[in-house]
Amino acid sequence: MKRRGLTAVLLAFFLVGSLPIAVSASEGSSWAQASNGGIIQPYWTYLQKYFNDFYIEPNGKALVEVIASARNSDEIRIEADLQQYAGGNWTSVKKWLKTSVGASCGLSETWYVLSGYSYRMVSSVKVYKNGVMVEQGSYVSPTRLY
């Protein structure tokens, strides 16, 4: 009798535990939306901001912008690479490098591109402290057709 009761209780726990449970959160809850508007981003130790923007104007002028800031750093290095997709491969059209001593670095460049191709911007940021690279990040933009 005891064994049958224990089996029934275990079976009940198993059945209840295997039922799907619906979970919902309201729009304003801290679980549903992060303080940064719901954007998922990596957690960095030194980097505070790593902003990238890339677009092509109707006249073919491509704008590449990369901004980075870091805390407790001596130097920030930004690299940006404008790439063209042709023949099944991404090839570099123009590269830029900017290095700043201190806590922030920004790069804003333009380049005219040829029509009929897809383009993207690939960037990287490296943070240095006491001459040693302590953190890095990278970004690949969405493809833009011109």
What does the block give as tokens for 123? 């960037």
Among residues 121, 106, 3, which one has the least CA distance to residue 62?
Answer: 121
What pTM did the predictor assign? 0.70
Query: pLDDT above 70 covers what percent of the chain?
Result: 71
What does the block give as tokens for 87? 């023949």
Q: Which class in CATH covers the domain with range 48-145?
A: mainly beta
Q: Which residues of 96-108 are buried (b: 16+ CB within 10 A; e: fewer)?
A: bebebeebebebe
What are the start-end ranges of the E strands in the chain? 47-56, 61-70, 75-86, 89-101, 104-112, 118-129, 132-140, 144-145
Task: Give the pLDDT mean for 98-119.
Answer: 96
Sequence ranges of the domains in the chain? 48-145
pLDDT digits (tens, 9 = 90+) for 41-71: 668 899 999 999 999 999 999 999 999 999 9
Lowest mean pLDDT, pick from 6-15, 90-99, 100-109: 6-15
Task: Give the pLDDT mean for 19-33.
Answer: 45
Lowest mean pLDDT, pick from 29-38, 95-104, 118-127, 132-141: 29-38
Cα–Cα distance for residue pair 63/15, rounded to 1 Å: 59
Contact 97, 109 (CB under 8 A): no
pLDDT at 117: 97
